Amino acid sequence: MSDIREDAQALDAYSAVVSTIAAEVGPTVAAVTITDRQGRPRGAGSALIFTDEGFLLTNAHVVGRSPGGVAAFADGTTARFEVIGRDPLSDLAVIRSLGATPAPAKLGDADQLRVGQLVVAVGNPLGFSGSVTAGVVSALGRSMPVGDRQRARIIDDVIQTDAALNPGNSGGALAVAGSAVVGINTAVAGIGLGLAIPINTTSHQIIASLLNTGRVVRAYLGVATVPTPLPPSVAARTKRTQGVALINVEPNSPAARAGLREGDVILWAAGVDIDSSQDLQRLDARRGDRPAVADHRHPQRRDGRRHRGARGASSRVIVSGVSSRRSLTTTVASASASDAGGNARFGTATT
């Protein structure tokens, strides 16, 4: 009998957490209808009120290229909204209500999440406003490819949850006990597998940029990369086993102007080991660096003569060029195309 009583108490505690989150976060999530310039409906989703000034956070894929739409709030009021800024490469967008809004949500820190932690998703799936589902954080540190018609990028540290998500949940809240919102629901990757953009330092920077300028300016190299194992000779010399190969270098990009070529393998950037495209994207941009190229394809021997090496092989160190706004310092070890090739199975990402 005592076991049954304890189970009932545990269930009640679980229910209390979920119902409290629903009651406190629910009013901060709006159902948004996206309209075109003629006011015709073109889509729907969710959005989170996050300031007292009527700004809401949602997904870039929810608003698309639309200039605005209509937001419906939990208290029964509606208001038109305008899109302030969107960033397809983080799948975040900021909109502003043209009318009064309920009190904003409390934002948490996704970096403090743990696998197995209780989370509650609040949104408007399939048009059912104010729907709540509960689950756990089933994985952390996931990566999700996003992009627009010209660019592609990997979003890092995506939250994976088994809380049920459906079309219309996009832009809604993922919250933890204490009613802090730690993620913006963004995708359904499969049955029992939903993804959310984390609320962390990076997303705060993106939101601030969208509020201030309506867009996000990123460091730009102009390369597409793929993870690749290093040739034995390069691995022995650098004490590394993997880097990222450049499978495409955009013409006239900072990378091209610095002398980077297809087939080069990036090992370090700004003093940080680079094992994946995500590593390259995580780097903070540096201002004011000047481009410089040091070509070590024919290093000096002790007697002052140059080692010529085998035909088609090279090793070089290149410091990347500078974009018009920002720069990254990149160290590259280059092997022959035959050494670096054959790894397209890993997929690509443009930085």
Candidate list 46, 66, 87, 91, residue with the active-site label: 91
8 Å CB contact between 260 and 222: no
DSSP code of residue 178: T
The distance from CA 193 to its chain's CA centroid, rounded to whole angstroms, is 18
Annotated active-site residue 296? The verdict is no
Structure tokens at 345: 């199975």
Helix (H, G, I), strand (E, B) or coil at 211: helix
Q: Can you list the domains of the chain with their CATH numbers? A: 2-97 (2.40.10.10), 106-201 (2.40.10.10), 223-350 (2.30.42)
Annotated active-site residue 170? The verdict is yes
* pLDDT score at 9: 66
Walk along the chain (351 residues) and give the pLDDT tens digit of each residue: 556 566 556 568 889 999 999 999 999 999 999 999 888 988 999 999 999 999 999 999 999 999 999 999 999 999 999 999 999 989 999 999 999 999 999 999 999 999 999 999 999 988 788 899 999 999 998 878 776 666 666 787 899 999 999 888 999 999 999 999 999 999 887 778 899 999 998 899 999 999 999 998 877 778 877 888 888 887 888 888 888 888 888 888 888 888 888 888 888 877 788 887 767 776 644 433 333 222 333 333 323 333 333 333 333 333 333 232 333 333 343 333 333 332 222 223 333
CA distances from 12 to 9, 24, 136 (A): 5, 18, 17
Within 13 Å, how many C-alpha atoms sit on residue 124's CB side?
22
Per-residue exposure over 252-287, b if at least 16 CB sit within 10 Å of its own CB, e if not: ebbbbbbbbeebbbbbbbbeeebbbbbbbbebeeee
Annotated active-site residue 91? The verdict is yes
51: left (phi over 0), alpha (psi -120 to 50) or beta: beta
Query: Which helix (H) or strand (E) element contains residue 340?
Result: helix 337-340
Candidate list 170, 179, 253, 323, residue with the active-site label: 170
52 by Cβ neighbours in 10 Å (0-12 / 13-18 / 19+) ranks as exposed
Candidate list 46, 61, 97, 156, residue with the active-site label: 61
Helix (H, G, I), strand (E, B) or coil at 203: helix
Rg over alpha carbons for the chain, rounded to the nearest Å, is 24
* pLDDT score at 282: 67
CA distances from 98 to 44, 104, 123, 126, 319 (A): 18, 15, 21, 25, 48
Structure tokens at 286: 């540096």
* pLDDT score at 190: 73
Report long-range pairs for 198-204 (Cβ below 8 Å, ≥24 apart). Answer: 198/110, 198/111, 198/113, 198/157, 198/158, 198/159, 199/107, 199/108, 199/109, 199/110, 200/109, 200/110, 200/111, 200/157, 201/111, 202/90, 202/156, 202/157, 203/90, 203/92
